[in-house]
Structure 1
Amino acid sequence: MSILQSYGWNGHFENQYTRFKNQGLEAGRVMAIQGFKHLLITGTGKQEALLAGALMNSKEPEAYPKVGDWVLFKRYETEGIILDVLPRLNELSRKSPGAATTRQVLAVNIDAAFIVQGVDHDFNPMRLQRYLQQVQQCGIAPIVVLNKADLVSNPGHYLHAVEELGYQCPVYLASALDKADQEQWAAACLQPGKTYILLGSSGVGKSTLLNAWLGYHLQQEGAISTANSKGRHTTTARNLVLLPNGSLVIDAPGMREFGMTLEDDATTVSHPHIDELSGQCRFSDCTHLHEPGCTVLAAVDNGQLPQQVYRSYVKLLREQQHYQTSAADKKRIERHFGKISKQVFAHRKNRKY
Structure 2
Amino acid sequence: MPILQLYGWNEHFMRHFETNTSQDLEAARVLSIQGFKHLLITETGNLDAQLAGALINSCEPEAYPKAGDWVLVKRYDEEGIIIGTLPRINELSRKAPGTQSTRQVLAANIDAAFIVQGLDQNYNAMRLQRYLQQVVQCNISPIVILNKADLVPDAERYRQAVQELGYNCPVVLTSALDEAQQKEWSSQYLVPRHTYILLGSSGVGKSTLLNNLLGYRLQEEGATSSANNKGKHTTTARHLVLLPNGSMIIDSPGMREFGVTEESEGKGIHHPLIDELAQQCRFGDCTHQHEPGCAVIAAVHHGTLPEPVYRSYLKLLREQYHFKTSEADRRRNEKQFSKIARQVGKHRKDSKY
State if a TM-score over 0.5 links the two structures: yes
Amino acid across the alignment from 1:272: P
User: Matches of residues 11-22 of structure 1 in structure 2 within 5 Å?
Assistant: 11-20=11-20, 22=22
Tell me if the contact between 1:121 and 1:228 (Cα under 8 Å) persists in the aligned partners.
no
The 3 A distance-change label for structure 1 pair 117 and 101 is same
- Sequence identity of aligned pairs in percent? 67
User: Matches of residues 322-341 of structure 1 in structure 2 within 5 Å?
Assistant: 322-341=322-341
Aligned residue for 1:66? 66
* 1:79 equivalenced with 2:72 (yes/no): no
CA shift for structure 1 position 98: 0.5
Tell me if the contact between 1:264 and 1:324 (Cα under 8 Å) persists in the aligned partners.
no
Separation (CA, whole Å) in 2 of partners of 1:85 and 1:20: 11
Deviations 1:195-248 (A, max 9, x none): 000000001011111111111111221122234332101211111000000000
Normalised TM-score (structure 2)? 0.97
Q: Secondary structure at 1:8's aligned position in 2?
A: coil
Aligned residue for 2:33? 33
Aligned residue for 2:314? 314
User: Matches of residues 275-314 of structure 1 in structure 2 within 5 Å?
Assistant: 275-314=275-314
User: Matches of residues 113-124 of structure 1 in structure 2 within 5 Å?
Assistant: 113-124=113-124
Amino acid across the alignment from 2:233: H
The 3 A distance-change label for structure 1 pair 174 and 348 is same
Deviations 1:153-192 (A, max 9, x none): 0001100100110001111101111111111111000000
Separation (CA, whole Å) in 2 of partners of 1:307 and 1:333: 39
Aligned residue for 2:168? 168
CA shift for structure 1 position 113: 0.1
Q: Which range moved further: 331-340 or 125-134?
A: 331-340
Separation (CA, whole Å) in 2 of partners of 1:13 and 1:352: 48
The 3 A distance-change label for structure 1 pair 39 and 162 is same
Deviations 1:29-86 (A, max 9, x none): 1101111100001101111111111111111111111000111111111211111111
**Structure 2 segments unaligned to the other structure (5+ residues):** none
Amino acid across the alignment from 1:8: G
Separation (CA, whole Å) in 2 of partners of 1:265 and 1:238: 27
Tell me if the contact between 2:207 and 2:220 (Cα under 8 Å) persists in the aligned partners.
no
Amino acid across the alignment from 2:307: Q
Q: Secondary structure at 1:184's aligned position in 2?
A: helix
Tell me if the contact between 2:137 and 2:264 (Cα under 8 Å) persists in the aligned partners.
no
Separation (CA, whole Å) in 1 of partners of 2:346 and 2:37: 40
Tell me if the contact between 1:114 and 1:197 (Cα under 8 Å) persists in the aligned partners.
yes
Amino acid across the alignment from 1:243: L
The 3 A distance-change label for structure 1 pair 46 and 121 is same
CA shift for structure 1 position 344: 3.1
CA shift for structure 1 position 314: 0.4
User: Matches of residues 1-353 of structure 1 in structure 2 within 5 Å?
Assistant: 1-20=1-20, 22-263=22-263, 265-353=265-353
Separation (CA, whole Å) in 1 of partners of 2:134 and 2:273: 16
CA shift for structure 1 position 334: 2.1
Normalised TM-score (structure 1)? 0.97
Amino acid across the alignment from 2:105: V
Separation (CA, whole Å) in 1 of partners of 2:301 and 2:184: 41
Amino acid across the alignment from 1:250: I
Separation (CA, whole Å) in 2 of partners of 1:352 and 1:266: 46
**Structure 1 segments unaligned to the other structure (5+ residues):** none
Separation (CA, whole Å) in 2 of partners of 1:322 and 1:267: 15
